[in-house]
Structure 1
C-alpha cells in the first residue's frame, strides 16, 4: 500500500512538472545556462518592429557546417531551432549595410565596440578563426556578447535575421 502511494505521488509530481515546463515553453519562457548573458529564466517577447542595433534578441542560428562544428566543439547546445541548435541570446551590434572590421577588436562603421576583443584560441587551446569582416548584407545581422569567451559574430560572421524569435527579456536571472 505504501509503495503504491509513493508511486502515485511521484507520477503526479512528474505530470505537474511536465505541465509546467510545457506551459512555460509555449509561453515563450526559456532557461539560459550559458555565460554569454546572465543565467536564469528569460522570456521571448514578440518583436513588432524592425530589429535595431542594441536589441538583445533570441535568434536561431542557421543550420550549416559552421554551427555544426561549433556544436561539436561544445560552443552551442542542442535545442529547438532548425538543425537542433538551441537559440542564442545576443545583442545586435550591426545591421544591413554597416561595415564590420575585425582586428584585435571589433570596429563597426569606424567605432570600436566595447568588450569585443578577438581571441585566436578558445579555452581549450584550439584555433579560433575570426570573421574576415565586411559589409553586413541585407537580411543579416552581426551579433555580439560582451562575455569575453562568447561565440558570436566575431567568429561566425553575420547571420540571417529570419532566425529572430523575438527580444530577449530577463525574468529571473543572475550573474555567477
Structure 2
C-alpha cells in the first residue's frame, strides 16, 4: 500500500512551518527575554516590558552606542552586546558629574573611579546641567557599574528596551 500523496504533502508543509516558526522564535528570543550575568544589576532573567521610560525603569542600551571606544577595547563589538541599567534621572533633572562625585538634583548619589579593575582609564564625562527632554541618565546598582557616570546622558532613541525581572 502506497502512502497518500496528499497526506505526505501535508506532513511536509507542517514540518516546514514548524521549523520556520521555531527559527522566528529563536531569531527574536533576545527581544523577549534577556539574561544578565553582570553584578552591576541583579543577576538573572529579565522580560521585555511595555512600561514607559521613567525613573526606576530598567533599560538596555547597546554598548557600542554609548561607549564605542571602550566597547571596542573590551571586544563588545556584537550588536547584541548591551548594558542593562536603571533610569535614575530624566528630562529637567539636574545632573552634575565632576571629579569622582555624581550629584542628582543637588544630592550626591554615587562616586566613580578613574580606572577599571584592569587599570585601564575609564571615560570621564564631566558636566553640570539639566537633562534635555530626550535624555536619561542610567546607573547600575553596584559601585563599580560602567554606566552614565562615565559615558554621560543617553538619548531616549538609544534605549533598546524596557525590562522587568522575571
The answer to whether the superposition gives a TM-score over 0.5 is yes
Report the Cα distance in structure 1 between the residues aligned to 2:164 and 2:127, rounded to whole angstroms: 29
CA contact (8 A) 1:61 1:163 kept: no
1:74-118 deviation digits (Å, cap 9, x = unpaired): 2x7344xxxx252321111111222211243211110121xx221
Alignment equivalent of 2:26, drawn from 4, 22, 28: 22
Work out the number of aligned pairs and report it.
144
- TM-score (structure 1 length as normaliser): 0.69
Alignment equivalent of 2:121, drawn from 117, 127, 137: 127
1:12-71 deviation digits (Å, cap 9, x = unpaired): xxx8xx769717716611121222112232111123x4x2212222233563xx622121
Question: Displacement, 1:138?
Answer: 2.2
Relative to structure 1, is the Cα distance of residues 85 and 166 closer, same or farther in structure 2, using a 3 angstrom cutoff? closer
Name 1:73's counterpart in structure 2: 73
Tell which structure's C-alpha radius of gyration is larger.
2
Name 1:88's counterpart in structure 2: 83
Provide the secondary structure at the position in 2 that maps to 1:71. helix
- TM-score (structure 2 length as normaliser): 0.72
Report the Cα distance in structure 2 between the residues aligned to 1:146 and 1:59, rounded to whole angstroms: 16
Superposed CA RMSD in Å reads 2.7
Does 1:169 pair with 2:164? yes
Q: Which runs of 5+ in 1 are unaligned?
A: 1-14, 172-176
Report the Cα distance in structure 2 between the residues aligned to 1:159 and 1:61, rounded to whole angstroms: 12
CA contact (8 A) 1:44 1:165 kept: no
CA contact (8 A) 1:55 1:91 kept: yes
Report the Cα distance in structure 2 between the residues aligned to 1:23 and 1:72, rounded to whole angstroms: 24
Does 1:137 pair with 2:132? yes
Name 1:151's counterpart in structure 2: 146
Q: Which runs of 5+ in 2 are unaligned?
A: 1-18
